[in-house]
A and B are shown apart, each in its own frame.
Chain A
């Protein structure tokens, strides 16, 4: 199949259609519920983070990219070929699903070996050994998966996804349940693989994970692609946005009067037991507030950001 589908409903940028992994106007709905809404992007070599709150449609999107779910409309292309109903893409693509499902009666090594054999590798034993070593599971490889911790199950899932040395790797919340040491090990492994030119897309609802690992990021909110591009640029958008804070002081009125005169402050409202302040950005306001309080002779009892949930950050990105 051509990388440029002739019937595409709208012009698709060449870099999207030509990317090793591409979604072209992809949507997916379940009955009346829209899980993914007209998403177009391309993913190239390197690590890309798929960031979004729970329920944003990340898993649905990853399953479509992995050819396990049919898009309701649009097209998912893996190296230029449609992913849905095309098992041949799994020679080049590996997936580690989010769901904590495993063959509890197999040992980690047996599971890797089964994966290697089903991948029709010429030397499945060597491939399984290599994959087990990559995820640092040699010590427990001959124990049944049923007795593993969640972090170990995650790693053995990753070993299965890596066993055929795929060019494209899709990981759904891969660090769930891993301890910090395992997490660092996995991140280093994925970074090495990315440096070799592999395409790695991983989903996460944790900003710090994406921050550490991803050079590029796709932000999903409520089924839409809210932002896509360089991680640092998007991070700047997230921190430079207006923030609201709740303050409790010894003299709320005096504090309010002083604050409204300051430049980063957009609005001040006296509320029951304190002040609600809306500021243009996080950094300048938090630096300013102590100075203002000291100048007014007001004691500051509490300063609390009120909208720091990931969801509010995401909704801001969407509303822009």
Chain B
């Protein structure tokens, strides 16, 4: 079996694992919030649709939901196997450890993109008047997919280097990206949140874009790729040296 075959096996295994986990329920519930808010807005008669769409997409989906879901899934795809003790069955095979990381990352990122993307698309469809919707939604989906990939890579790496991956991830997202990046503009260069905004703003056909961005598309892509690849390398490095023992 070739390299692709092994990765495919691992992807299928991880996807089936994810379906059975309680975490997916938490993520789905969180993803329902923006849609729920959008429906309430429409039923209440609405106000400035642009401002509402911008608030929902920027403050709720991209700032809160995307990193939360990515951390929940990303720390579970590999971290769950570490906790359950099943990782050993993958490690005692002639499979390069980076292949395990790539498969796990693919599932984490895809699940995040699907859940958050669906939530964002539904919420925007409900709030925005028709006609201007499609291009904006596609821009939002592209940004979400980009963010899902980078956040998931960070989450997978964290799940191998610390036993408190979810907490460390949340601290990064809500302290670094939420507070520090607001106070010191230089730190925006190291903020996945800003890479996502950069992609959405650049691809949005409606200008000025729904969301203000501080980074141009090129920086968002280059810096995002750097962080994502770096985190993946850290994960592969850690898994290659991962020790399994029966010690509690």
Q: Footprint of B on A, CB under 8 Å?
A: 30, 35, 59-60, 63, 66, 68-70, 85, 87-88, 90-91, 93-95, 97-99, 101-106, 111, 114-115, 117-121, 124, 160-161, 172
Residue of A nearest to B10 (CB): A118
User: Could you tell me how many residues of chain B have their Cβ less than 8 Å away from some Cβ of chain A?
Assistant: 29
- Judged by a CB distance under 8 angstroms, whether B179 is at the interface is no
- Judged by a CB distance under 8 angstroms, whether B184 is at the interface is no
Residue of A nearest to B246 (CB): A59
Interface-central residue, B9, B96, B240, by most chain A CB under 10 Å: B9
Q: How far is the CB of A146 from chain B (nearest CB, A)?
A: 9
Q: Which of B8-50 contact A (CB under 8 A)?
A: 9-10, 13, 16-17, 20
Q: Which residues of B contact A114 (CB under 8 A)?
A: 9, 13, 89
A60→B246 CA distance, assembly (Å) = 7
Q: Which residues of A contact B1 (CB under 8 A)?
A: 117, 120-121, 124
A-B contact count (CB 8 A): 92
Residue of A nearest to B19 (CB): A105
Besides the contacts A95-B92, A103-B13, A114-B13, what 7 more A-B pairs have beta carbons closer than 8 Å?
A59-B246, A68-B244, A103-B17, A115-B89, A117-B5, A119-B94, A121-B1
Q: How far is the CB of A187 from chain B (nearest CB, A)?
A: 23
A118→B96 CA distance, assembly (Å) = 10
Which of B80-88, B113-121, B168-176 sits within the interface?
A: B80-88
Cβ A120 vs Cβ B6 within 8 A: yes
Cβ A90 vs Cβ B94 within 8 A: yes
Cross-chain pairs A/B with CB under 8 angstroms, 19 sampled:
A30-B247, A59-B245, A60-B247, A68-B92, A70-B243, A90-B92, A95-B92, A97-B246, A101-B84, A102-B86, A105-B16, A106-B16, A111-B89, A114-B89, A117-B6, A118-B10, A120-B95, A124-B1, A161-B92
- Judged by a CB distance under 8 angstroms, whether B91 is at the interface is yes
Partner among A70, A104, A115 whose Cβ is within 8 Å of the Cβ of B93: A115
Cβ B94 vs Cβ A68 within 8 A: no
Q: Footprint of A on B, CB under 8 Å?
A: 1, 5-6, 9-10, 13, 16-17, 20, 84-86, 88-97, 240-241, 243-247
Cβ A119 vs Cβ B84 within 8 A: no
Cβ B86 vs Cβ A118 within 8 A: no
A161→B91 CA distance, assembly (Å) = 12
Known contacts A68-B245, A103-B17, A114-B13, A85 near B86 by CB under 8 Å: no
The main secondary structure of chain A at its interface with chain B is mixed
Q: Which residues of A contact B89 (CB under 8 A)?
A: 103, 111, 114-115, 160
Residue of A nearest to B9 (CB): A117
Q: Which residues of A contact B17 (CB under 8 A)?
A: 103, 105
Cβ B88 vs Cβ A172 within 8 A: no
Q: Which residues of A contact B94 (CB under 8 A)?
A: 87-88, 90-91, 118-120
